[in-house]
Structure 1
């Protein structure tokens, strides 16, 4: 199960960097240890369970970019036993049938237009602020994730145990069960050649196209850590790879660093 992958990372090393996130458009850098990410995951899972009644059989749609907060939301939803519908690539209409939608603030207007007043879907907005602050300049109906998630507990206990056979990730017309997410991640990690201790520089667009099994779960399954890059500035990549001690890249070429998924 996906939550087990994060638990394994905590056992290996709770304090070393597990996920580092850059946005070159805003010069942001955020670094999370396994312990810090686990804290965000627990708070998110408690919010989803207590505020939205999310559990096995629920569908949680994400209209979020590849981001450290997205990692916390994904793992939080899976901790509840919910199926995740990933709409990272700008398809707001697909989220209409979900029980809960968590969206970046800039995608809320399109989502509000796609959901009529009678919709039972609960809508939450994320500012994606580097310090996890709430939304500003927003007056719609969505609830503010960052403001409310902080009030929830640091330890999560599901009211109903997740079902490994239940849906975990919805991709087009296909789905992966919660139980198969972990095995799919381990299999992909093997095919990519990921090993424990790898530090992977990940391009946002490539990661969004590949999906969360590739950019989040496969590295966790391998015991690797992540450096996520949004709006990556090509002239910064070599120095960033050196500073972050990157050992492999996904969707980015850096001279002298192996590129995952590339042959020859």
Structure 2
């Protein structure tokens, strides 16, 4: 059994690198982005290289991800894990080595102590921001400058995966995700449509499907009138909405 987040993700990509692994919909903007395992792996590697080579972070450092469910959030969380870092997913402000957020959350992020701040607009086609918030670097523009493959220090099951008030090891995160997959009825080979409003926790919308060996159709601002047709088009077998 895989016992770290990077192991789980590597296995998910290896099963069928060309198949859709995460498909993103935002019914408020009309955005649809489909990422194969290979494409998502490329974003994850670039993110890990940004964190290690660009920011200069080391094994065990903490990175705040003050972001809503989104495919870029998935790339960041998986990239943080690949680099051997610990993700802080929010709550009370903590000292961290780097922080990623959106322009509309900059005020809430002000209390977090860090020198390295990145913003993303989570825009269609992974477009960069016209003007990043003051004191922030545009994640999308910056990450493209980094390598497509990451070769870092191996991550161990006992290493810290989540930072913050409740810290969890990779082993514990994977065990929790496996338990959630069982509770939610996600099984190997499933294609899972997930409403972000009902399942905002990455343990549900990202890690549980990956641990189970499923692929993801992640929907923000879900128009319920479109659910049945979308489930048919995307060959969905499990709906969490």
Same fold (TM over 0.5): yes
Count of aligned pairs: 238
1:25 aligned onto 2:17 = no
- Per-residue CA distance 1:56-96 (angstroms, 9 max, x = gap): 22111111110000000000001111111112xxx5xx344
Matches within 5 A, 1:1-264: 1-87=4-90, 91=91, 94-112=92-110, 114-115=111-112, 119-158=113-152, 160-170=153-163, 173-208=165-200, 211-250=201-240, 252=241
- TM-superposed CA distance for 1:167, in Å, is 1.8
Q: Following the alignment from structure 2 to structure 1, what is the Cα–Cα distance between the partners of residues 93 and 65?
A: 8
Structure 1 residues 205 and 95: alpha-carbon distance in aligned structure 2, compared to 1, 3 A threshold: farther
8 Å CA contact retained: 2:103, 2:133: no
Q: Following the alignment from structure 2 to structure 1, what is the Cα–Cα distance between the partners of residues 228 and 169?
A: 38
- TM-superposed CA distance for 1:139, in Å, is 4.5
Please say which of residues 130-139 and 60-69 is displaced more in the overlay.
Answer: 130-139
* Structure 2 residue runs without a partner (length 5+): none
Bigger radius of gyration among the two: 1
Q: Following the alignment from structure 1 to structure 2, what is the Cα–Cα distance between the partners of residues 161 and 198?
A: 29
Structure 1 residues 63 and 194: alpha-carbon distance in aligned structure 2, compared to 1, 3 A threshold: same
Structure 1 consecutive aligned stretches of length 4 or more whose deviation exceeds 4 Å: none
* Structure 1 residue runs without a partner (length 5+): 253-264
8 Å CA contact retained: 1:97, 1:121: no
8 Å CA contact retained: 2:6, 2:155: no
Name the SS of the counterpart of 1:228 in structure 2.
Answer: strand
CA-based RMSD: 1.7
Please say which of residues 70-79 and 8-17 is displaced more in the overlay.
Answer: 8-17
